[in-house]
Amino acid sequence: MDPFIFVLITLSIATISGYISGFMVVQINHLLVILLGKINSGGHAQKRYIPTGVAACAIYLTIMLFFLFPNENVVIKFASLPFFIGLYVFGITRAKRLFKQTHKILFELIKIMYYSPTDKKLDDNTIKDTMKTADSILSSMPQSNKEALMILLLFFNSTTTVFLVSLISGRIRLKSFINLNTIEKTDYLQAWAQNKFLFYAIQGMKSLVSFSYFANSQSWSAIGYNGELLRRSYLD
């Protein structure tokens, strides 16, 4: 094989596999939180990233040396390792950044479910109070449940998920949920509700939003409720 072409192929493999490995290790860490139900500090995750990265590098080199292009230049294969490591770190950074967007995803979900442009000022306050209630509920959840919801929100928001779910409905969208316009968000939400495989997942997210919305006083006037039951319970 031409050396220049082999370098391009090797760097491409290192780049793609490194990024996917780094991105997935964060997902795996969150899944471990769900399974174990007792890991609640970032320190545990950081300790797992390093040995997982070492293992990923060993697997990458093993595949490159003995399975992919076994007769090609070994020096080039070893030289591609820094690219793999760099993209591994970038993948971790990217995944962690996305997990921080879960608050914004939940806010947009609340907004699209209950926002009304005809009473914008009231609804702005209602949405903010609903988000505070949702945050309070999330903070009191077992860590495993919280992590599961975060992964579900990321899946819901993913550009790939939006594309596939919209495609089933005969539409093409190449944006994440939070970047869709109001009509597109509503349509996307309905597509989830109408899909027998996604129905229960969206109901889980909507249950959190609905409880958070109706548990704060800003929303009571819209349904003619004076808050008596809640006033006698935990709000006072």
Same domain assignment for residues 59 and 110: no
- Examine the domain organization and report whether 182 and 109 are in the same domain: yes
- pLDDT tens-digit map of 126-151: 778 888 888 888 878 777 677 778 88
Residue 80 lies in a domain: yes
CB neighbour list of residue 55: distance below 8 Å, 6 or more residues apart: none
Mean pLDDT of the chain: 81
> Are 127 and 205 part of one and the same domain?
yes
- The whole-number pLDDT of residue 59 equals 95
Q: What is the pLDDT of residue 124?
A: 73
Q: Are residues 173 and 193 in the same domain?
A: yes
Q: Is residue 236 part of a domain?
A: no
Instruction: Residue count of the chain, please give it.
Output: 236
- pLDDT in the model for residue 191: 93
Helix pair angle (102-114, 143-157), 10° resolution: 70
Query: In total, how many domains does the chain have?
Result: 2
pTM above 0.75, yes or no: no
pLDDT value at residue 234? 45
* Residue ranges making up the domain that contains 207: 102-231
DSSP string, the chain: --HHHHHHHHHHHHHHHHHHHHHHHHHHHHHHHHHHS----HHHHHHHHHHHHHHHHHHHHHHHHHTSSTTS-HHHHHHTHHHHHHHHHHHHHHHHHHHTTHHHHHHHHHHHHH--GGGHHHHHHHHHHHHHHHHHHHHHS-HHHHHHHHHHHHHHH-HHHHHHHHHHTT----S-GGGS-HHHHHHHHHHHHH-TTTHHHHHHHHHHHHHHHHTSGGGHHHHT---HHHHTTT--
In a shared domain, residues 144 and 94: no
Same domain, 71 and 85: yes
Same domain, 227 and 132: yes
Domain edge (last residue) among 77, 99, 121: 99
Check pLDDT > 80 for residue 232.
no
Mean pLDDT of 231-236: 46
- 182 and 144 assigned to the same domain: yes
Same domain, 129 and 164: yes
In this structure, the answer to whether residues 84 and 121 fall within a common structural domain is no
Q: Are residues 84 and 152 in the same domain?
A: no
Q: What per-residue confidence (pLDDT) applies to 82?
A: 95
Q: Are residues 45 and 113 in the same domain?
A: no
